């Protein structure tokens, strides 16, 4: 079973359960910079009737024991090994922000392992403000708090914002700095047109970290893609508007598998 294989590989994942429903599509979710699988809680629960959901902790994050990485290609290589060893069939791969960059790498480098991709609040280029890159090294907690000010739409429940800051602070300055540096170096603008997999692109209308124009650019470049903008949501759209977000994901999964689920 997949959960046992992930445990053998020392990969942290949610939901941390042995429950698996044969016949459902496999949805593998990849978190963003300084994050963990916990950001997908509203999807591992809300989408469980439509898919077998697995939210993974990247190396050095959450409960995955291996060391953190500082290059998007290295993360993609790690992910390929996990998919090959732990999953018996091609999966739908969903990534948020930096996780979306890793998903783009996967779609370009090993599309045979995938049946579709979902890109959340990301872009083909993820340039990071120099003040953030410097701040993670010299004034880590204050910089994380500043990032959170940009990350959520106005009116978001403060407890969600606080949890986002807490999760990033738990990752620590080394991991967060490496992640954002990897994002800053990422640039697939010349390559995303070569992605041929079915693709859903979702972003929050009020996203200030990866503005709507980045997602729109992906939609214009990836031929077999559909584009959804979620109103009154920011960078963490899957946390801010989970019901609307999950509805878009369910519709996409149905369209590529031909298997409607509740």
Full domain range(s) for residue 37: 2-257
pLDDT of residue 22: 76
Q: Is residue 206 part of a domain?
A: yes
pLDDT of residue 259: 58
Q: What percent of the chain has a predicted confidence (pLDDT) above 90?
A: 88
Q: Is residue 262 part of a domain?
A: no
Average pLDDT taken over every residue of the chain: 94
Structurally, how many domains does the chain consist of? 1
Q: Is residue 171 part of a domain?
A: yes
**pLDDT band, residue 126 (cuts 50/70/90):** very high
Q: Is residue 218 part of a domain?
A: yes
Burial 54-67, CB ≥16 within 10 A → b, else e: bbbbbbbbbbbeee
Q: Is residue 232 part of a domain?
A: yes
**pLDDT band, residue 262 (cuts 50/70/90):** very low
Paired residues of 52 in beta bridges: 26
Q: How far apart, in whole angstroms, are the C-alpha atoms of residue 5 and residue 102?
A: 22
Whether the CB-CB separation of 18 and 1 falls below 8 Å is answered with: yes
Q: Cα dihedral angle (204, 102, 250, 160), rounded to 10 degrees?
A: -50
Reply yes or no on whether the pLDDT at 261 is more than 50. no
Whether the CB-CB separation of 103 and 114 falls below 8 Å is answered with: no
Q: Is residue 33 part of a domain?
A: yes
Q: What is the pLDDT of residues 136-166, one digit of tens each?
A: 999 999 999 999 999 999 999 999 999 999 9
> CATH code at 53?
3.40.50.1820
Q: Is residue 223 part of a domain?
A: yes
Q: What is the pLDDT of residues 203-230, one digit of tens each?
A: 999 999 999 999 999 999 999 999 999 9
pLDDT of residue 135: 96
User: What is the pLDDT averaged over residues 17-25?
Assistant: 77
pLDDT of residue 21: 78
pLDDT of residue 230: 98
Q: Is residue 23 part of a domain?
A: yes
Q: What is the pLDDT of residues 89-110, one digit of tens each?
A: 999 999 999 999 999 999 999 9
pLDDT of residue 18: 62
């Amino acid at each position: 079973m997949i959960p046992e294989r992930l445990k053998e590989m020392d990969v942290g994942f949610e939901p941390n359960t042995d429950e698996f429903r044969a016949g459902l599509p496999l949805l593998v979710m990849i978190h963003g910079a300084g994050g963990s699988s916990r950001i997908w809680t509203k999807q591992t629960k809300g989408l469980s009737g439509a898919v077998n959901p697995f939210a993974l902790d990247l190396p050095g994050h959450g409960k995955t024991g291996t060391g953190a990485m500082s290059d998007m290609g290295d993360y993609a290589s790690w992910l390929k090994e996990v998919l090959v060893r732990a999953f018996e069939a091609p999966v739908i791969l969903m990534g948020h922000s930096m996780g979306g960059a890793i998903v783009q790498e996967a779609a370009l480098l090993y599309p045979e392992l995938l049946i579709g991709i979902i890109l959340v609040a990301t872009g083909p280029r993820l340039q990071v403000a120099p003040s953030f890159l410097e701040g993670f090294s010299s004034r880590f907690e204050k910089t994380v708090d500043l990032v959170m000010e940009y990350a959520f739409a106005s009116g978001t429940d403060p407890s969600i914002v606080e949890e986002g800051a807490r999760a990033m602070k738990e990752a620590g300055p080394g991991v967060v700095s490496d992640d954002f540096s990897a994002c800053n170096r990422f640039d697939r603008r010349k390559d995303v047109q070569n992605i041929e997999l079915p693709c859903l692109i979702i972003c929050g209308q009020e996203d200030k970290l990866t503005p709507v124009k980045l997602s729109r650019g992906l939609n214009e470049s990836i031929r077999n893609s559909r584009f959804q903008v979620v109103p009154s949501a920011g960078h963490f759209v899957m946390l801010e508007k989970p019901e609307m977000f999950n509805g878009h994901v369910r519709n996409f999964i149905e369209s590529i598998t031909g298997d409607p689920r509740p």
